[in-house]
Amino acid sequence: MAYVVAHEVGHHIQNLNGTAEQVQRLRGRISEAEYNKYSVKMELQADFLAGVWANHAQKSNLILDPGDLEEALNAANAIGDDMIQKRSQGYVVPDAFTHGTSAQRMYWFKKGFTTGDINQGDTFNDPSLR
């Protein structure tokens, strides 16, 4: 399973259910730092939805190979804002995050994969993401 493809499935779901449009409407109406927080929540929800998709794909088609879940978590870890900033500039600026930390990305993907329940991915109202 390619994590990036699964993540894009998550964004497709957000396009279908209107989440992406709602977040996009905020651009220009709130500060960049505040918009970044919404962007992080949307990206983490896409990670969650990717996990839900992988859960259901596995149950219905058994398409995951041994090691695919570990590969997906490694990819989520590698593309967290904190890891990317640290590699590129040597330090981390949390206010500039647009996708979430590596730990957050892994957590939300794994939560989606473990639960398979689309109703457990409300990142916009999760108290840990305020």
Residue 32's pLDDT is 92
Please report the pLDDT score of residue 1 as a whole number.
58
* 3-state secondary structure (DSSP) of residue 43: helix
Give the pLDDT score at 99.
Answer: 93
pTM for the full predicted model: 0.89
- pLDDT at site 44: 96
Q: How many residues does the chain have?
A: 130
Q: Over its length of 130 residues, how does the chain's per-residue pLDDT go in tens digits? A: 577 888 999 999 999 999 999 999 999 999 999 999 999 999 999 999 999 999 998 888 777 777 888 888 888 888 898 999 999 999 998 888 999 999 999 999 999 999 999 999 999 999 999 8
Half-sphere exposure of 12 (CA within 13 A, CB side): 8
Q: What is the pLDDT of residue 36?
A: 94
d(CA 114, CA 51) in angstroms, rounded, equals 8
Cα–Cα distances (Å) from 125 to 79, 84, 90, 91, 119, in that order, read 23, 26, 32, 29, 12
What is the rounded CA–CA span in Å between residue 35 and residue 63? 36
